[in-house]
Structure 1
């Protein structure tokens, strides 16, 4: 078993979603980091260097679009794939506007979560 676990960050202010995703992804061998706001996003992501980021549209304080755009402007972090997730019906548009690699509509089932992560990881 490889000691270097794959790292994933989830930005969402919904504690239920965080705990479910955390549980499922840890079972799948991920090191999961969760944040309920996107303050100091560059410092946080730089410190962890995840393979994948899950970004909620309504994350406090700046919001998912600005948070994702901030990451994509960073030379060091722009290659980390961002999966945009939201219950918003315009999610595809929002994700593309944010510069995310892909998106996941809420509510999602866990197979879908794993499938979308697998496409970018």
Structure 2
């Protein structure tokens, strides 16, 4: 069965490169440039994994992840927070994210981090 990833970032270049990586892995890729209505977006996308930028317009990555993890129906979807913030590990922990990636990241690192979470 084909897997789905929801990528939330307002940087079109990052959306493009992340989309190419996951399309090559035979994922259905859904992207969004904001985190408004995060619960509705995730319910509509029904992703297997979520990649979210910390500085995404709307709620922001930390608050959006906290909302997802507080939702009984959605809390088990793995969330990877990604950002150039120097305190990213602490932000990911505060958010309740399942993992994090520091920008700029290597595309192989992106792929391996996501696939590892889907196997756990």
Q: TM-score, normalised by structure 1?
A: 0.95
Q: Does 1:10 align with 2:7?
A: yes
Structure 2 distance, partners of 1:8, 1:33, is: 6
Unmatched segments (≥5 aa) in structure 1 = none
Would you say 1:29 and 2:26 are equivalent positions? yes
Report the Cα distance in structure 1 between the residues aligned to 2:112 and 2:44, rounded to whole angstroms.
26
1:93-117 per-position Cα deviation (integer Å, ceiling 9, x unaligned): 0000000001010000111001100
1: CA distance between counterparts of 2:44 and 2:21?
A: 23
**What stretches of structure 1 move > 6 A for 4+ residues in a row?**
none
Alignment of 1:8-87 (within 5 A): 8-87=5-84
| Pairwise CA RMSD | 0.7
Q: Distance in 2 between matches of 1:113 and 1:98?
A: 19
- For residues 5 and 79 of structure 2, the distance between their equivalents in structure 1, rounded to whole angstroms, comes to 10
Deviations 1:5-60 (A, max 9, x none): 10000010110000011011101111010000001111110112111000100001
Counterpart CA distance in 1 for 2:96 and 2:109 is 21
* Unpaired runs of at least 5, structure 2: none
Aligned length: 118
- Structure 1 residue 62, shift from structure 2 partner: 1.2
